[in-house]
Amino acid sequence: MSREIIIMIIGMAVVTYIPRMLPFVMFRGKELPPFLQGVLKNVPFATLGALIFPAILFIQEDIWYGLIGAAAAFIVAFLGANVILVVIGSISVLTLYSYFF
Amino acid sequence: MESTLAVKQATDFKKGIQSGISIAIGYMPIALTFGLIAKTTGLALGETVMMSMLVFAGAAQYISLSLLAQGIGIFEVILTTFIVNIRHFLMSASLNEKAEEDTVGARIAYSFGITDETFSVAATQAGTVNAGYMFGLNLTAYSSWVVFSGLGYLVGAGLPQTLQESMSVALYAMFVGLLVPSMKTNVKVIYLAVLAAAFNSIFTMAEWMSTGWAIVLATLLSAVLVETVETFKKSRRTEADE
What is residue B157's predicted lDDT score, i.e. its pLDDT?
57
What is residue A11's predicted lDDT score, i.e. its pLDDT?
98
**For B188-215, b where at least 16 C-beta lie within 10 A, e where not — what string?**
bbebbbbbbbbbbbebbeeeeeebbebb
- Helix H or strand E segment including B13: helix B2-41
Q: What are the residue boundaries of the structural domains of chain B, listed by start?
A: 2-163, 186-242
What is residue B3's predicted lDDT score, i.e. its pLDDT?
65
- Identify the residue among A12, A26, A65, A90 best suited for mutation to test binding to B, counting B beta carbons within 10 A and taking the highest: A12
Model confidence at B163, pLDDT cuts 50, 70, 90, reads confident
Output Rg (C-alpha) for chain B, integer angstroms: 20
Summarize pLDDT for B120-159 with one digit per residue, the tens: 999 999 999 999 999 999 999 999 999 999 999 998 656 6
Q: What ipTM was assigned to the predicted interfaces of this complex?
A: 0.89
Summarize pLDDT for B208-229 with one digit per residue, the tens: 887 778 888 999 999 999 999 9
Q: Which residues in chain A are closer than 8 Å to B179, comparing Cβ atoms?
A: 45, 48-49, 52, 77
* A83, B126, B212, B226 from B113: Cα distances, Å: 20, 20, 18, 29
Q: What are the residue boundaries of the structural domains of chain A, listed by start?
A: 31-100
Environment class of B126 (CB within 10 Å of its CB; exposed 0-12, middle 13-18, buried 19+): exposed
Q: Alpha-carbon torsion B62, B196, B87, B93, what sign?
A: negative
Between chains, do B104 and A28 touch, taking CB under 8 Å as contact? yes
Interchain CB contacts (distance < 8 Å): A and B: 288
Report the residue count for chain A.
Answer: 101
Percentage with pLDDT > 70 across chain B? 96
